[in-house]
Amino acid sequence: MDSNGRNGQQVVWAVVGTDIGPLLLAATHDGLVNVVFHATEAVRDRALGRLADRLGTEPVEAPRSPLLAEAIRQVDAYFAGERRTFELPLDWALISGFNRQVLRELASGVPYGAVVGYGDLAQRVGQPGAAQAVGTAMGANPLPVVVPCHRVVESDGGIGGFGGGLETKRKLLALEGVLPEPLF
């Protein structure tokens, strides 16, 4: 590793305003590496510190970086109701093993406007009975919204947990037509 971090890659970031609050997007040359909810200054600073520790380089604020341009465009289009799928290169460096396997299945196998149960997702990756482990994978998702952990719900119809908060999950599911829009 050189002074630029893992494999000489730079990490760039920007904060994007959305209907669910500010999102921090971070990318490397390999793709989008992190999405962070509620990116206030304090949350942003903690997230950037974790990225620096994990990737071995200090993230650089670069909202006009070509590494972020397409991700920003697609996130904006998603929240405007103009995009249903993300077609972005993803850098999976922040997650591995079972969690990565589950998140890849989620990203490719649960489309916009659909939901899946924790147990169903466990079965899809060949681990029936691993519903709790799927919940852990959702909580570890470094790419929420783009890798749609908000689409994973409880088998009894409950909304389940969510790292971005239940109100954020409700808003994302309403955007996708799974839940009705809140009245106020």
| Active site residue ranges | 149
Angle, vertex CA 43, rays to CA 161 and CA 94, nearest 5: 70
Which strands sit side by side in the sheet containing 31-36, from one edge to the other? 31-36, 23-28, 12-16, 60-61
CA-wise closest residue to 51 among 97, 5, 2: 5
- Tokens standing for residue 152: 């994973």
DSSP state of 90: B
Do 166 and 172 touch, CB atoms closer than 8 A? no
- Tokens standing for residue 134: 């799927």
Output Rg (C-alpha) for the chain, integer angstroms. Answer: 16
| Cα–Cα distance for residue pair 147/138, rounded to 1 Å | 9
Helix ranges (H only) for the chain are 41-55, 66-79, 97-109, 118-124, 131-139, 166-175
